[in-house]
Amino acid sequence: SYVVTQPPSVSVAPGETARITCEGSDIGSNTVHWYQQKPGQAPVLAIYYDRDRPSGIPERFSGSNSGSTATLTISRVEAGDEAEYYCQVSGNSDHWLFGGGTKLTVL
Amino acid sequence: EVQLLESGGGLVQPGGSLRLSCAASGFSFGGYAMGWVRQAPGKGLEWVSSISASGGGTYSADSVKGRFTISRDNSKNTLFLQMNSLRAEDTAVYYCAKDRWNYEFFFDYWGRGTLVTVSS
């Protein structure tokens, strides 16, 4: 079955750019969505269809997907961005496959 | 405003059954696919099951196939998850989630979750 891999953690200073990756074989041929989950809260959709932002998500959040890596990029990181981030891959036989999650720490 | 409110969680013994419900409001429930996603304590998200807008089509993860059944009552704006033959590894917070339309294969709104604990 298809496997997607996220780094367990990413750390960044306030104001810098955070890049969270989601790796899988030819993931660029699939569609990737991203969710933000803060402690004790339900997940929130952050990016869908690789790069689209739902209303209410700041423009600082962007996404890309090519080759074997999909990337969630958060520009000008703020303390409030600290959360767990999950990628979800659809388009293959596993329509709702989640990555293991990446904890973003704002230093 | 879209609202999803799960209920029915609790403590159950291994081998037992539980039925989760999700009351939906703020959107035309019968026009959207829905799903259940779970999260074991301290772990990541795991998709469990999804159902089409009409209820005529369902998908389930291999880990729950044959034990869990997803269904919906569009007249009552409610989603269900019947869980049988429960195991310790089914212990998790179960989230109800709304598909953006009818099988766009991602979830744009989530409920707050209900905790299921399987233990003797």
Residue A63 contacts B where some CB pair is shorter than 8 Å: no
Q: Is the per-residue pLDDT at A94 higher than 80?
A: no
Residue of B45, B105, B108 lying closest to A86 (CB–CB)? B45
- List CB contacts (< 8 A) between A54 and chain B: 108
Interface test with B, best of A45, A96, A98 (most B CBs within 10 A): A96
Taking the CA of residue A11 and the nearest CA in chain B, the distance in Å comes to 19
CA dihedral A36, A42, A47, A50 (to 10 degrees): 90
Predicted local distance difference test score (pLDDT) of residue B93: 98
Q: Please check whether residue A43 touches B, CB under 8 A.
A: yes
Asked whether the beta carbons of residue B113 and residue A31 sit closer than 8 angstroms, the reply is no
Cβ distance B44 to A101 less than 8 Å, yes or no, reads yes
Structure confidence by residue, pLDDT tens digits, B28-76 = 999 999 999 999 999 999 999 999 999 999 999 999 999 999 999 999 9
Residue A1: predicted pLDDT: 82
Task: Label residue B104 by pLDDT band (50, 70, 90).
Answer: confident
Please name every residue paired with A45 in a beta bridge, in sequence order, or none if there are none. Answer: A35
CB A32 within 8 A of CB A99: no
Handedness of CA B42, B43, B45, B48 (dihedral sign): negative
pLDDT at res. B109: 97
CA distances B108 to B58, B69, B87, B100, Å, are 19, 22, 29, 6
Alpha carbon separation from A32 to A28, A53, B57 (Å, rounded): 8, 12, 23
* The pLDDT value given to residue A12: 98
Percent of chain A with pLDDT over 70: 98
The per-residue pLDDT for B88 is: 98
Q: State the Cα–Cα distance between residues B95 and A28, nearest whole angstrom.
A: 28
Q: Which two tokens stand for residue A42?
A: 């339900």
Q: Give A98 to chain B, closest Cα distance, Å.
A: 6
What's the token pair of residue B50? 């999804």
Whole-Å CA distances, B50 to A17, A55, A84, B13:
35, 24, 23, 25
